[in-house]
Amino acid sequence: VSKDEAATRMLDDSGKEEASRKAIKSVLKEALNQDHEISDALSLNQLAPTQSVTLVQALKNIGNPRQALSRLREGVLELCQILATQLHEGDRLVYGNETLALMYARWNKLYASLYNSSKDVFDISKIPDIYDCATYDLLHNNSEALHNPLYQIYELTVPLENYVVPQEYGITQSDKLQIGRGISSDLWRKISSDFRNSAADKFEIEGESQIRLDESDARDVKTPTRRVKTRLYFTSESLLHSLINVLSYSEHPILPNGLEVLSTVPGLGFLTQVVLTMHENNDVPFDDPNRFFVSIMYSDGIHGLPRQGNSDPLSLEPLQQNIPLDHFMQFVDEITV
């Protein structure tokens, strides 16, 4: 496991494309505070110009955004009132050593911050927090008294979450590509370097190009001299959205078969994965451009609540297979900044 300054800079999106993201959030805030239907063709074209299946469906489910947010606020208020009544009967532990008082304070804070009465404006940045809290409490603090308001909150936030979160990384195709490149370029370069070194290693199997573990950090590893073949990068939702947007909207497309899969992604769930693998065809000469090729797979993780019939939530969908390594390198060179 490596956690140093270079790794942090590569995997942390803090400060990257900050001005662009701030401007886009302002546009989204204004759009979702409008008191009219946004499911008509004109609104769909303006608010989801990429025509992503998931985004269009989310907007249709939202309908009138101001009314949807008002219903959400009413649902949070109802939950707070139930929690306050229970708390009046005495504090107690709920899940994970959290007390009922802390649970009430958590929801009451969300209720207070969702709507600014002096400006008559809903703060859409609270939608992901409300979605996460509703999901958490339905999983861990679900009781007969709390189930209905929690589930109502969850159902109301799903389309809002599915629209707001991915759009924070760009509304138009050019916005998504610009922000995606700005956030994910360091990681793309690292992946490209890993593949290039692995391919070169096949030519100099005894040379210095071999990728090995740092023996000083491998005291408990039985074979510290072995070659590294797998790398796992644990990163943020922001960087995953950026990777996906670059794959989807690059001017040098390498996913002609995978765009439909990404267009129908219902948001990024827990354990979302983008998997890139490099393979070797031993039946062609070493200098053949088809000797090495790359495949890209994707899983949108775990969605919804348990026991909702999602039989294989972590299955990997192939986005594109058999991309010649040279083509992949060209793609990375063109999209990195």
For 19-45, what is each residue's pLDDT tens digit?
999 999 999 999 999 999 998 999 999
What pLDDT score was predicted for residue 239? 92
Is residue 279's pLDDT more than 70? yes
Q: At residue 316, what is the residue type?
A: L
3-state secondary structure of 38: coil
* Tokens found for residue 46: 């303006």
Element (H, E) at 323: strand 317-324
Name the region of 15 (left: φ>0; alpha: ψ -120 to 50; beta: rest). Answer: left
What pLDDT score was predicted for residue 251? 76
Q: What share of the chain is helix, strand, coil (3-state, %, to 5)?
A: 55, 10, 35
Q: What is the pLDDT of residues 215-230, one digit of tens each?
A: 666 566 666 665 667 8
Mean pLDDT of 195-208: 65
**Gyration radius (Cα) of the chain, Å:** 23
Indicate the pTM of the whole model: 0.85
User: What is the CA 337 to chain-centroid distance, rounded?
Assistant: 21
Question: Distance between CA 233 and CA 111 in Å, rounded?
Answer: 36
What pLDDT score was predicted for residue 209? 43
| DSSP state letter for 280 | E
Per the model's pLDDT, the better-predicted residue between 23 and 203 turns out to be 23
